[in-house]
Amino acid sequence: MGLRTPLYDTQIAQGAKIIDFGGWDMPLNFGSQIDEHHAVRRDAGIFDVSHMCIVDLTGARTRAFLRFLLANDVAKLTLPGQALYSCMVLPSGGVIDDLIAYFMSESWFRLVVNAGTRRKDLAWIGEHAGPFGVAVRERTDLAMLAVQGPNAIAKTLPLLAPERRGAAQRIARFSGAEIDSWFVARTGYTGEDGFEIMLPAVEAAAAWRALVAQGIAPAGLGARDTLRLEAGLNLYGNDMDESRHPLESGLAWTVAFEPATRDFIGRAALTRARGTGGPALVGLVLEDRGVLRKSQQVSAATDAEAAAPRASASLGEVTSGTFSPTLNRAIALARLAPGAGPKVLVDIRGKAHAARVVKPPFVRNGKILIPV
Amino acid sequence: MSKIPGDLHYTRSHEWVRRLPSGQVEVGITDHAQEALGDLVYVEVPQVSRRLVAGEACAVVESVKAASDVYSPVSGQVAASNDDLAQRPELLNSDPYGTGWLMRVAPDASAAAGALLTPAEYAQFLAEAG
């Protein structure tokens, strides 16, 4: 038996099929993961993400600490509630984890880090927090729900006290607000609008049931993975890890080299890697039928138009692949040598299949963003 | 509880076998298999006239989550493949014992049917596998 969130029993009662995810017993689906995927793209779905690790950092020098710890710069956060996506990197530039930092107040920031990296993240953060006098507290007393989809916000508002709905409606994208005992943030991992709600664990089951009663579809990790991949969002451990730096993981936009005076862990290595023409994370769309999967090899197409295309030099490999329910074909993220494409070949069970290199995201806000 | 029709035979790798009046056998995957795989999105069926040996991987079914091999329950020659599955792989989920069939095989005259499970034996196998 693995670790369980406060919603385990509730989800079992709703027909959840459970799998192990990083030591946690989590719902894979509640029936059809494709139906759950479409519910999020077209209406609203709810995910239990209580396995994710919420860490509160407090102390007068918390902002200075995070400006040193993270590759992105929390100086960009000027209003309470604002959020920032960042990598936490090693001195080598390799990614320890990706996370979201919320600016709660000048002496209080909140991080949400991955479940599978919890232990090493807490050790790393703790090791560097000391000199800044920053206190690190894991919030195991909180649960986390992600309500996502074009109708997610409208269907969540009725659960809030009437005098609080206005405040919740005014939450800007990639920001959050404390609403009574809840922290409600307009963030997510699906490419759709919606809320991520951090709330006392004891309130989680009642909130889940109330949200489902609003017509929000329970959804599992299966749909969460196809949604994030369509949205071009990386998965830690697949698309980046400690052996890969953000610049070769499609995350150059999250590394704040300016101002040049800011010292942060990994800056020297990332500065050296910058502009060296290393591999890049790109999107792939499979032209044939079939499914792209992690670790499939990608090669250059010498004559991709030929009836029997021949593979040549290796370009790299698929880091995340799946069947996209929205596009009705296989898509992937792949780390390829610079300049790869526009046509490439992917080895699927010993046969070369033609694929097209595209710029992620594939789908955002219900709309297909690549030519099909 | 997954469905196990009483007029078919089964394998431990979750294929079913239907004896047709023509002497050919029709092959598919069981309700238990489609349930375990989840939403199927791609199916690769064998080419007609391909020769198969019992136990040989002859088809691939892929769900959103993973790819799985299908093993031929009998030795023989492929007489027909279900081409509808290329466009509608979800038939394997919705109708695994009917329109979701994978292939029809003309079994070798010498082919022994002894290794196949009866419905009761397959039900017990599933119960023991838990």
Smallest Cβ–Cβ distance between A291 and the set B38, B42, B86 belongs to B42
- pLDDT at B109 (0 to 100): 80
Contact: B64, A289; criterion CB under 8 Å: no
> Using CA atoms, how far apart are residues A325 and A345, in angstroms rounded to an integer?
22
- List chain B residues with CB under 8 Å of A289: 42, 86
Nearest partner of B30 among B117, B96, B123, judged by Cα: B96
Burial of B49 (0-12, 13-18, 19+ CB in 10 A): exposed
Contact A86, A264 (CB under 8 A): no
Residue with tokens 């090493």: A120
Q: Which of A33, A222, A291 sits opposite B62 (nearest CB)?
A: A291
Q: What is the pLDDT along chain B (130 residues), one digit of tens a residue?
A: 799 999 999 999 999 999 999 999 999 999 999 999 999 999 999 999 999 999 999 999 999 988 999 999 999 999 999 999 999 999 999 999 999 999 999 999 865 556 899 999 999 999 998 6
pLDDT score at A310: 53
**Domains of chain A with CATH codes:** 8-50+141-230 (3.30.1360.120), 277-368 (2.40.30.110)
Q: Does A290 touch chain B (CB under 8 A)?
A: yes
pLDDT band at A303 (very low <50, low <70, confident <90, very high): low
Q: Minimum mean pLDDT among A57-71, A165-179, B18-32, B103-117: which range?
A: B103-117
One-letter amino acid of A330: A
Tens of pLDDT along A260-273? 999 999 999 999 99
Coil, strand or helix at B104: strand
Distances (CA, A) of A332 to A284, A302, A329, A342, A348: 5, 21, 10, 14, 13
For B42, name the nearest residue in chain A, comparing CA atoms only. A290
- Between B43 and A277, the more confident residue is B43
Q: Half-sphere exposure of residue A179, counting CA atoms within 13 Å on the CB side? A: 25
Domains with residue ranges and CATH for chain B: 9-124 (2.40.50.100)
ipTM of the complex: 0.86
Q: Are B41 and A323 a contacting pair at CB < 8 A?
A: yes
Residues B83 and B91: beta-carbon distance below 8 Å: no
